[in-house]
Each structure stands twice: as structure tokens, then as C-alpha cells.
Amino acid sequence: MTSDGASRRREFQGIDMQYTHDCDDCMPLGEFTPPLERVGDLPDNYDLYYCHGVVVARYGSDGPDYHSTDLVFTVGRKCNAALAEAGIRAIRYIEAELTRSRIGNK
């Protein structure tokens, strides 16, 4: 992630997010609806974010209405579907950023 999180976030304003999230450093990764075969009492929709090595799955606008974990814990481990999806999207975002920086440095 770039050091200017607010400007990177503005670049992605086209992504609609359902819930209020007050961290200017978080990169929005879009909304996610878990598959129908989900187990347990999980929310129907999440907003996904990536921030400094952590993925966030927000399911409401109140401060504590989210799940989060380090990105490394979403790869090859069992976590809820929203965090797993946030991990996949975060890795794609990081790969795109690395590609962009390599192209810019040539």
C-alpha cells in the first residue's frame, strides 16, 4: 500500500461499500455475500478491506461490527468465508500494486 492511503482510497471510490468504515488507510476490496451453504449465524453481506497486512470483513457500521485477521492467516487455513475472500482480493491487489511499481520503475 502506498503511504498516502487517503489518495489511494479516492482512486477506488467507484467501489460501493455498504457500511461506514472510518479508517482512511484501508483499501476497499468490494462487497461480499457468503455462499448459501455457509454454516452458523453469519451476516448476509460484508464490506472487505485490506490495511497494512490485515484483512477486514465489516458486517455493520458500528465500530465493533467486523472480523479481521492477518493476511497470512487467510492462505491455506480455515477462516470464515468473508475473510478468505478478503485474503484472495488483497493478494490480487498487492500483485497489481507490485506490477504497477515495476512498470513505473522501468
Residue 97 to residue 63: CA distance in whole angstroms: 29
What's the whole-model pTM score?
Answer: 0.78
- pLDDT value at 38 more than 70: no
> pLDDT at position 35, please?
76
> pLDDT at position 97, please?
87
> pLDDT at position 104, please?
67
Q: Span 57-65, mean pLDDT? A: 92
Band of pLDDT at residue 42, cut at 50, 70 and 90: low
Residue 22 to residue 9: CA distance in whole angstroms: 12
Closest by alpha carbon to 59, among 75, 35, 38, 82? 82
- pLDDT value at 51 more than 90: yes
For residue 23, what is its C-alpha cell? Answer: 479508517
pLDDT averaged over every residue in the chain? 81
User: What is the residue extent of each domain of the chain?
Assistant: 5-104
Which helix (H) or strand (E) element contains residue 11? Answer: helix 5-11
Band of pLDDT at residue 68, cut at 50, 70 and 90: very high
